[in-house]
Amino acid sequence: MEHKEFSLRGIVKQRLLEMLDCVKASAMGKILVVDQQASELLTSVFELNELYLAEVSLLEQVNKPRDPYPQVEAIYLLTPCWESIFYLINDFVKGGDGSINGAAYKGAHVFFTTELNDEYHMKLMASRVSKYFLSINELFLDFYALESHLFSLETPESFFRLYSPKLSNTTRVELQSVAQKLLSLCVTLKERPAIRYFSPESQYNNSSVSRELASLLESELDIYSNRDSLPGSRIKSPLPNESKSTLIIVDRTIDLASPLVHEFTYQAMASDLLQLENGSKYVYEYFNENNEKSTKKVVLDESDKLWVELRHCHFDECVPTLVGKLKELEEKKIQNQGSERDQLNKLNQLKKLVYSLPEYQELKAKCGVHINIASECSEYYKSHKIELLAGLEQDLATGFRSDGKAIQHMLEEVLSILKDDDIHPDDKMRVLILYILSKDGVRAESWEKINDGWSLDEVQGNNDAIQNLATLGARLTRTSGKPGAHIVKRLRGNSSSQSEIIYDLSRFTPTIKRLLEDEVHGDLSNERYPYVRMMNDKTQAAKEQHAKDLRQKLCGNTDWIFRDKSKGMIILFVAGGITYSEIRSAYEVAEYYNRDIFIGSTHIINPTIFLEHLRILNNPPSVTAIEGSASPSLPLLNTDPHLNKPLPDIQIPATTDTPHISHDRSKSYGGSTDESTIRRNFFTSMRT
């Protein structure tokens, strides 16, 4: 689903374009100086040619040696950290050969990605080069807009800082950092939402992450609003006093099944089976025009309209769509060959056809990539017994068979999977954990059978992964009695109604989808999802009236096309990682109920990432302390900074030849000669 009328990526891009428009282009164009994080923000929403169209002729990295242009005003886009501020000041103290009085540029329009603290602001204004700072602005863009309605903080380390007992001393600082990033989101959307949070109902889940984060964000919003009212405030994007929008904060403990169940919509399936790098970069091998094997990396994002059309479709619907696209191409090129077109139902034939058409190159290339992805997914599905696994996973995750009967005595089916040497160890772990969750803990005699049937030590860390489930609120052992009432309730909520079921292997519904539907209907439990601060009577009445109107429309089967902005947007944030099945669910609710829904998390996860997180949760990798917990002094201004060497030039390989497919799940998708790397490193002194 494409929300053309209100896109988070579009908003972020517009804010950055307004930044670029602050300076009139000189004869040589505009100079933009960035640091690493700011560069990633920039390239997350801009194509290279779009920056050129915005008259940016020089894109420089702030900590690298550069030629001075003392007659030109430069634009700086920086993270508000001490290192970037030091390099900024140094540009006007020791600008290098050709500078005037040490200044590399005539002046600087400085934009920080988020709020600049008062100490750093004072250092800038008190420096002897402050006269060169023509303006200082705070953009509040401390997040990444990955899709039109999807955002990420890109902080996978947050999972360990929030949930690992070994890093409990960093939890408060991490929550504060996440709250400040969510403040950036609210400022960007120009919303002062009512905040709700997930309050676990299980006695085994004592997570306070959602509650504490919600409280900290409410405080950040209050501080921001209060600063806006002070004389001399630097805030240029005030928030409304009242808003009909709602921001719901949950954490990963709300649903441990979604990161484990095989999902068969296109985006989620590709991320799971093919292990897409960062969830959006697809790597494949092909033979070039010299018949030499080469590697190509393709970025799957919203610039690819075919990807947008397919990403939330069930896999069985994707192949016919691709067939249709290719038939259109073929009919424009090949006449009177109906008998050949009748044979386009096989993916291998489609692959040969797409590489035989000489025109419509862009669509041809896109179709070729997606046919290759579909071929890999199809082959992996068949060779790894995914259909056998998926049926059992659906039964365990929903508590019901495909015929609607409640599951009973599932251990033998689970053991048959665990004993099968042809099934990948990670897939065995997924089934085992789903079994534990479905039973609300496993009895001792069942554990003995499990241990006799499969050695968890087959993969290092599996035992730790099972034990660490308890840290996330799961019950591992049960002496007697039935599963807790919350488990029965959760399983019923995870099961789609018979009217919703189209595919037997897609019966499971993420908890987040039910949560969003309840919020839209006005039925979300105030006990399980309390407000940090209760809404005033006027806002509450408006929400209740909207819920009433919605039920009347649905009962009357009223067709409605345009999204009503007066109802307020819904923002859902998951602390600790979000899955593509949950993302897809949010898009579905938004489309069905005609609402603007934004969903985001600290990072995007797939089953492989989630299992790895579980394995090392109690022995996490060392992570750098969050900047901001202390305020280090700037280096002396007459100290030469340590400057790294510029990155080498990188060339884009040709991409028009038939790909060679690799199915090695453990394959490392490394390499640097690809478009995404070029985009990421674009700031390395590209000159016209």
Digit-coded pLDDT (tens) for 471-496: 999 999 988 666 655 555 555 556 55
The enclosing H or E element of 446 equals: helix 444-453
d(CA 113, CA 38): 7
Output the pLDDT for position 495.
Answer: 58
- CB count, 10 Å around CB of 375? 18
Q: Which long-range contacts (CB under 8 A, 24 or more apart) does 287-294 make?
A: 287/657, 287/658, 287/660, 288/653, 288/654, 288/657, 289/654, 289/656, 289/657, 293/660, 294/653, 294/654
In the chain, pLDDT over 70 holds for what percent of residues? 75
User: Looking at residues 569-584, what average pLDDT do you find?
Assistant: 97
Domain ranges of the chain: 8-141, 146-255+510-550+563-616, 266-384, 386-492
Residue 285 confidence class, pLDDT cut points 50, 70, 90:
confident
Report whether pLDDT(667) > 60. no
**Domain at 266-384, CATH homologous superfamily:** Sec1/Munc18 (SM) protein, domain 3a (3.90.830.10)
pLDDT in tens, 524-573: 999 999 999 874 444 555 555 554 554 455 444 433 334 455 578 999 99
Report whether pLDDT(424) > 60. yes
Output the pLDDT for position 294.
Answer: 84
Output the pLDDT for position 38.
Answer: 95
pTM of the model: 0.82
Average pLDDT, whole number, for the chain? 81
Residue 287 confidence class, pLDDT cut points 50, 70, 90:
confident
Output the pLDDT for position 2.
Answer: 41
Output the pLDDT for position 234.
Answer: 59
Comparing 166 with 3, the larger pLDDT belongs to 166
Output the pLDDT for position 639.
Answer: 34
Output the pLDDT for position 324.
Answer: 85
Report whether pLDDT(190) > 50. yes
Output the pLDDT for position 107.
Answer: 94
Report whether pLDDT(623) > 70. no
* SS3 label, residue 253: helix
Lowest mean pLDDT among 94-103, 197-206, 263-272, 364-373: 94-103
Report whether pLDDT(521) > 90. yes
pLDDT in tens, 330-357: 666 554 444 444 444 556 666 666 555 5
Lowest mean pLDDT among 272-286, 301-315, 386-400, 593-607: 272-286
pLDDT in tens, 369-381: 999 999 999 999 9
C-alpha distance from residue 138 to each of 7, 41, 109, 217, 633 (Å)? 21, 14, 11, 19, 21
Backbone angles phi, psi at 173, to 5 degrees: -65, -40
- CB count, 10 Å around CB of 546? 19
d(CA 470, CA 479): 16
Output the pLDDT for position 289.
Answer: 75
Output the pLDDT for position 596.
Answer: 95
The enclosing H or E element of 175 equals: helix 171-189
Could you say which DSSP state residue 230 is in?
S
Q: Dihedral angle at the C-alpha atoms of 211, 213, 214, 219, nearest 10 degrees? A: 130
Comparing 201 with 386, the larger pLDDT belongs to 386
Output the pLDDT for position 184.
Answer: 96
- CB count, 10 Å around CB of 425? 15
Output the pLDDT for position 108.
Answer: 95
pLDDT in tens, 20-60: 998 899 889 999 999 999 999 999 999 888 999 999 999 99
Q: Which fold has domain 146-255+510-550+563-616?
A: Rossmann fold (3.40.50)
Output the pLDDT for position 554.
Answer: 45
Backbone angles phi, psi at 195, to 5 degrees: -110, 130
d(CA 282, CA 341): 29
- Cβ contact 227:235 at 8 Å: yes
Output the pLDDT for position 415.
Answer: 97
Comparing 209 with 651, the larger pLDDT belongs to 209
Residue 279 confidence class, pLDDT cut points 50, 70, 90:
confident
Output the pLDDT for position 592.
Answer: 95
Output the pLDDT for position 351.
Answer: 62
Distance from the Cα of residue 228 to its chain's centroid: 31
Comparing 334 with 510, the larger pLDDT belongs to 510
d(CA 231, CA 236): 13
Comparing 256 with 497, the larger pLDDT belongs to 256
Report whether pLDDT(102) > 80. yes
Backbone angles phi, psi at 226, to 5 degrees: -70, -40
- Name, in order, each residue with C-beta under 8 angstroms of 5's C-beta and a sequence gap of 6 or more: 563
d(CA 438, CA 395): 9
Output the pLDDT for position 362.
Answer: 74
Report whether pLDDT(195) > 80. yes
Tell me if 8-141 shares its fold with 146-255+510-550+563-616: yes
Residue 290 confidence class, pLDDT cut points 50, 70, 90:
confident
> Which class is 386-492 in CATH?
mainly alpha
Output the pLDDT for position 647.
Answer: 26
Report whether pLDDT(74) > 70. yes
Encoded tokens for 118: 């008062």
Which ranges of 201-346 does DSSP label H, i.e. alpha helix? 209-228, 266-273, 305-310, 315-333, 338-341
Output the pLDDT for position 565.
Answer: 52
User: Looking at residues 141-151, what average pLDDT do you find?
Assistant: 96
Best-predicted range by mean pLDDT among 100-104, 212-216, 295-299? 212-216
Output the pLDDT for position 355.
Answer: 56
d(CA 158, CA 623): 10
C-alpha distance from residue 545 to each of 185, 520, 595, 596 (Å)? 27, 12, 15, 18
Report whether pLDDT(247) > 50. yes
Output the pLDDT for position 323.
Answer: 84
Nearest CA among 33, 25, 20, 29 for reference residue 88: 33
**Domain at 8-141, CATH homologous superfamily:** Sec1/Munc18 (SM) protein, domain 1 (3.40.50.2060)
Report whether pLDDT(214) > 90. yes
Report whether pLDDT(408) > 60. yes
The enclosing H or E element of 77 equals: strand 69-78
Nearest CA among 579, 580, 582, 586 for reference residue 613: 579
